[in-house]
Chains A and B, each alone.
Chain A
Amino acid sequence: MTELAERPAHPAVGQPLPHESAALHATGAAAYTDDLAARRHDALTAWPVQSEQAHALVSLDVRDALAVPGVVRVLTAAEVPGVNDAGAKGDEPLFPSEAMFHGHALAWVLAETTESARLGAAAVRVASEPLPSIMTAAEAIEAGSFQGIPRTIRRGDPEGALAAAPHVFEGTTLIGGQEHFYLETHASLAHVDSEGQVFVECSTQHPTEAQHVVAHVLGVPSNRVTVQSLRMGGGFGGKEVQPHGFAAVAALGATLTGRPVRVRLTRTQDLTMTGKRHPFHVEWRAGFDDDGRILALAATLTSDGGWCLDLSEPVTARALMHVDNAYWIPDVVVQGRIAKTNKTSQTAFRGFGGPQGMFVIEDILGRVAPILGVDAAALREHNFYVAGQTTPYGQPVRHAERLHEVWRRVRHESAFDERRARIVAFNAEHADTKRSLAITPVKFGISFTLTAYNQAGALVHVYQDGSVLINHGGTEMGQGLHTKMLQVAATALGVPLESVRFAPTRTDKVPNTSATAASSGADLNGGAVKHACEQIRDRMATVAGRMLGIDARDVRFSRGRVSGLGTTGPSVTFAEVVSAAHEQRVQLFAAGFYRTEGLHWDTEAMQGSPFKYFAYGAAACEVEVDGFTGTYRIRRVDIVHDVGDSLSPIVDLGQVEGGFVQGAGWLTLEDLRWDETEGPGRGRLLTRSASTYKLPSFSEMPEVFNVHFFERATEDGVVYGSKAVGEPPLMLAFSVREAIREAVAAFGPAGHSVELASPATPEAVFWAIEAARGTAATAGTVDAAAGRSDAPGRAGAADAERRLVPFDR
């Protein structure tokens, strides 16, 4: 085992601890960015002037706004001393002259109160000259509207393999987007201090990028700008790059007025202005042999990137890399491209394209299993990677055996076969209600695919009383990163958890950080914190060795005491060693650094080993579907997930459960609707509030929810043998979608494919049931009383059936 993965005796890592801020959360004492603003009565509020056109040339007249009582200033392009751009790609003007989507912020009004800022924004006159707009990926494909660089992953001879395959299926799959709906909307608070330094409190996953954007908008060097991310009320990727224009607005306002300026989006502003999970349009052909083995896949994935590039290139690339999910596909070609549409700029969202990639293969397997006459669970298992195989992009699938073990364990924990038999009996007795139990796997690559991002820094101080303060580059969005980092530091220094504190993430403590994203926060920052702690510990060991009369190499730090090997010798306290070290002028603070070893990636060829390792998991989900309405409920979920040796089991359990429910929301409930008509409202987001965009509530919680961690799972080469956990569990939710698909199928005769829309809302499920029953009518086994009317079922599933005709030869 590598030193990085090895745990000492009595480690603080692995202890089941609640979130470090849990008591503060529950009592309302935990402060978030806008809570700081509420305590600053001198702060001005910024309010956006939003476009009411999907695409138009605009010009502004702000005179009426300045006449509104309380309005102090209106920020426009003319006020920008530096670069008028809010992003990293140079395609996001902060104050645009061309409105690129309905809701686009054109200018910002600063005022004494929220009310006057709102009225001021309403008073800005916007003259616009409408331009043609594109609302969907399909429209963009038709119009040839793309952005960024298209990429292809290819292995073998997929065209030849498809031509020779005994069974070939083809189809078009539309994958819906998802709104992050972090409970805390975007917020920034900026002020300029007595020395002219700009200090920005920002709800961001990426303080360093916020710092860079603020600096280039203000036209000042980065050393004039400090960004702090106290804690976020949820991020999920939505605060990886999207906060930085808002931070720049606050900083610009503070610089120009000399007053603190706050930006806090209302829910509707957040929904209409900020990016979401990318919807995808996918065309595919897949070949199978007579045994149900996947022979080949050819797919073109078009992501709907919205109005600017943002993170669409890496998101689309990760989708391509996850089209295989857990399955060996010998010959494959997947092409990815990014549609440019007049919508919000779609961005990072938990899984970062991975979920959309996996959707493709899981959808294919779910659809073709009945036609191949193979049980879907068996079809999946049959195609798993085995040891020695590589992914389509050339990375060996290390620990492929874990996939098989996880799968077996889920089948066992969920009593899969017995319950399936009971479900068959239940369905035979119930004409109007059907149940199903489905199981799906996850294999998810861990590391930023941009190799340079796989580095982190930390700063650890040991004070003279033996207390420890840690700083690191990672941000806290609820995922429990700080909890884990406290555990890592306490373990590395051998001190009780209570003697370690962390300070909020800020760019003047640890510079040049990566976004807290890609599930990598604990891997990267844990490595850096450990590195810093070990430097201090090694220096203290020299001091302690002299105190104890032993060699420094034999000194051990554990639970606040410092001793030699064995349990019977003398010992001193950690604080005593600290005190002695200070007397002897030994440095008691250190900067730590970590870089993930062994990564390489050729972006042009789309080949290499971009991931440190894969996270594995599987879920078995039972649903019940109501044939009258298409509504469904999740009756039971059993999960086995591979988190390595958990750093913090309560935290990891929370990530698994929360990720699963969020994934279920994406796949079944959360429905983004845009006005796609040619009318005056074209481009308007219709689901622009909590009453129209529904995320999972208690009613979507699985009634029985069993989560197990994969055991004896030490991940070598990662901090204390752990694995990343933020994103992979989201994709366990494909088990919900596949269970719904199989329950829908149970309304009709066996052997017919079911196509489900995305999201599979009750309405979508109802139409799928109607289509299944339509199949039933043809087969002459209809339950005449099952609630069918004479009206034909809506198109969709029927069309899918046509597209799914196998080309048997």
Chain B
Amino acid sequence: MDHIAVTVNGQLRPLRGVSAHTAALDWLREIGLTGSKEGCAEGECGACSILLATPDEHGGTRWTAVNACLVPAAALDGQEVVTAEGLGTPEHLHPVQARLAEAGGSQCGYCTPGFACSMAAEFYRADRVPSGAPDIASGGDAAATTISADAAADAAHGPNGFDLHALSGNLCRCTGYRPIRDAAYALGDPEPDDPLAERRTRPAPEPRTTLLEVDGERFIRPSSLDEALRVITEEPDAVVVAGSTDWGVEVNLRGRRTPLVLAIDHLPELRAVTFGDGVLEIGAALPLTDVERRLDGRVPLLDELFPQFASPLIRNRATIGGNLGTASPIGDTAPALLSLEARVVLVSGEGEREVDLAEFFTDYRQTLRRSDELIRAVRIPLPLARFTAFHKVAKRRFDDISSVAVGFALELNGDIVSSARIGLGGVAATPLRARATEAALAGRPWDLDTVRDAASVLGSEGSPMSDHRASAEYRSRMLATALLKLYRTRRGTRAEEPA
């Protein structure tokens, strides 16, 4: 199967010896590129991070950091990847490697190649702009608008514009992170002759139609949506993947195997973001990072959600379709989308149908999607509610799974709550709408009495369980306090404008 090949560090390498279930990480290590490490095999630690050439919005290429432990090797067919070994060598260090090394950013060094790749992705981010740059747009006296780099940098951004969240999917057990942060904040811009910077100006590799079959197990990347629908109609047990951030965990940690993996992440019908007449449609197979970029802040609730959804390494591959399709009660997009009254667009050989997201989840990990259907998109009605918020409670601030998540979308008419839509995660077998709370808010004045009453209703929604993340009692209390916190911290800010 030498026609299946990947460009690794500038060299074309045939994907020999891989099965439909081989992770890119295992294949890279098999061909001698052992810089990428397995630390957890579930996309939590980032020790396996590599760079993938993906298309940007301007016909060029973006270097995107991904977890090689979750990406099927076969999904890289025809693609370009760069590993830590490809960034630089001990004799000729890449700038991120040089900064990491001299800053004391490595101790045991096991996580370091992964950090180097995540850091390189942010290093090459085209819109990374030093925060110390003069604010031209504000006009006026240049001297007065020039701000010092240090003053402008907040805790999560360096003076060079480096967004620390870019590293939030990488774990280091040795350093305590400070030197890694300092290394990141000391980075300059790529040199003009930097080959990876130059590579950004040319298009990313086209997706390729792939058929890999080994020992009766297949990986198929179909040529079109029609073909994808034909395949799942004929083979209802096919596992449909886009970013494979969920399926990869099943394969690695739970030993799940399937006769057929169907990759749909490249299908254009599943990758669009369109603001239409009264509706916003978001493609189901577009990575969340791209959704965030294309929405560009026009859906404030989702803008609040994205940074709290796993890590950039995951968001660079994970999709809304995957997060809804897997139907986990603790997936973070569902509570947000429920509050926005999103609808799910399902497509099959017979055509499309649209279902209310609130009806979509039928039981624990069960949905209305038939095996011959794909989630093509979600539709969010416009205009958006003007007062929205996303509250997530977890043990750890960065990259943790929700104990409880709440999406709020309120419409206020003067001081009266004209409508309230609230989506909940983590408190039942499925994500759900807090309908009793919505009713307790609707038509009442937006004041402390209403909020207290509604909070006690909210605290009794769902039927939370106790587990290793949180007790049932805490989960219920977090629902109630979410509304109080919303009121106390945001009552004066209703500035979000509809998209």
Contact = CB atoms under 8 A, between A and B. Distances in A.
SS class, residues of chain B in contact with chain A = loop
Given A629-B478, A654-B107, A18 B178 contact: no
A234 B173 contact: yes
Interface in B374-414: 393-401, 403
Interface in B465-490: 467-471, 473-474, 477-478, 480-482, 484-485, 488-489
A266 to B, nearest CB: 6
A691 B176 contact: no
B93 A39 contact: no
A678 to B, nearest CB: 16
A419 interface: no
A688 to B, nearest CB: 9
Given A26-B84, A657-B176, A697 B398 contact: yes
Contact of A705 (B96, B112, B178, B481): B178
Contact of A26 (B32, B34, B116, B176): B116
A480 B174 CA distance: 11
B20 to A, nearest CB: 12
A763 B93 contact: no
B262 to A, nearest CB: 21
B45 interface: yes
B287 interface: no
Contact of B110 (A23, A234, A662, A671): A234
Contact of A184 (B88, B108, B399, B480): B108
A654 B102 contact: no
A431 to B, nearest CB: 8
A761 interface: yes
Interface in A325-377: none
Given A27-B113, A662-B173, A699 B398 contact: yes
Nearest to B476: A791
A654 B35 contact: no
A26 B108 contact: no
B244 interface: no
B126 interface: no
Interface in B102-134: 102-113, 116
Contacts of A32: 37, 110
Given A183-B45, A633-B397, A697-B396, A661 B116 contact: no
Given A183-B173, A184-B108, A697-B168, A23 B485 contact: no
B459 interface: yes
A262 to B, nearest CB: 12
Contact of A27 (B93, B167, B393, B455): B93
Interface in B31-58: 32-37, 39-42, 44-45, 47
Interface string A225-261: 0000001111110000000000000000000000000
A267 interface: yes
B448 interface: yes
A182 B37 CA distance: 12
B260 interface: no
B152 interface: no
A470 B478 CA distance: 58
A60 interface: no
Interface in A32-48: 32, 35, 38-39
A787 B179 contact: no
Given A27-B113, A698-B167, A654 B84 contact: no
Nearest to B85: A28
A673 interface: yes
A689 B42 contact: yes
B435 to A, nearest CB: 20
B16 interface: no
B61 interface: no
B237 to A, nearest CB: 20
A719 to B, nearest CB: 21
B468 A687 contact: yes
B109 A478 contact: yes
B400 A629 contact: no
A766 B404 CA distance: 14
**Highest count of chain A CB atoms <10 Å: which of B32, B33, B165, B174:** B174
Interface residues of A, number: 84
B317 interface: no
Interface residues of B, number: 90
A697 B165 CA distance: 11
Given A28-B35, A32-B110, A697-B396, A628 B178 contact: no
**Highest count of chain B CB atoms <10 Å: which of A21, A29, A659:** A29
Given A27-B97, A234-B173, A766 B477 contact: yes
Contact of A236 (B173, B396, B401): B173
A654 B173 contact: no
A15 interface: no
Given A18-B102, A24-B90, A791-B477, A477 B108 contact: yes
B37 A31 contact: no
A314 to B, nearest CB: 24
B30 interface: yes
A763 B113 contact: no
A654 B104 contact: yes
Interface in A629-672: 629, 631, 633, 650-651, 653-654, 657-662, 669, 671
Given A697-B396, A699-B168, A700-B396, A28 B33 contact: yes
Given A661-B176, A698-B177, A27 B39 contact: no
A657 B172 CA distance: 12
A763 B471 contact: yes
B138 interface: no
B433 interface: no
A25 interface: yes
A99 to B, nearest CB: 21
Given A184-B108, A631-B393, A698-B168, A28 B34 contact: yes
Nearest to B469: A692
Contacts of A185: 39
Contact of A29 (B85, B104, B477): B85
A584 interface: no
A491 to B, nearest CB: 21
B116 A183 contact: no
B147 to A, nearest CB: 20
Interface in B243-299: 249, 253, 255
Contacts of B418: none
Contact of A231 (B98, B109, B480): B109
Contacts of B36: 28
A794 interface: yes
Nearest to B34: A35
A28 B113 contact: yes
A761 B474 CA distance: 12
A19 B101 CA distance: 8
A266 B173 contact: no
Contacts of B103: 18
A130 to B, nearest CB: 24
A605 interface: no
Nearest to A118: B255
A30 interface: yes
Given A267-B39, A268-B253, A697-B399, A785 B109 contact: no
B108 A234 contact: yes
B456 interface: yes
B64 interface: no
Given A651-B104, A697-B399, A785-B448, 10 more contacts: A18-B106, A19-B107, A25-B109, A118-B255, A184-B108, A628-B482, A629-B485, A657-B175, A657-B179, A692-B469
5 contacts: A26-B109, A28-B34, A654-B176, A694-B395, A785-B488
Interface of B: 29-30, 32-37, 39-42, 44-45, 47, 83-85, 87-90, 93-94, 96-98, 100-113, 116, 155, 164-165, 167-168, 171-179, 181, 249, 253, 255, 393-401, 403, 448, 455-456, 459, 467-471, 473-474, 477-478, 480-482, 484-485, 488-489
Top 5 A-B pairs ranked by shortest CB distance? A28-B35, A478-B108, A25-B109, A233-B110, A661-B176
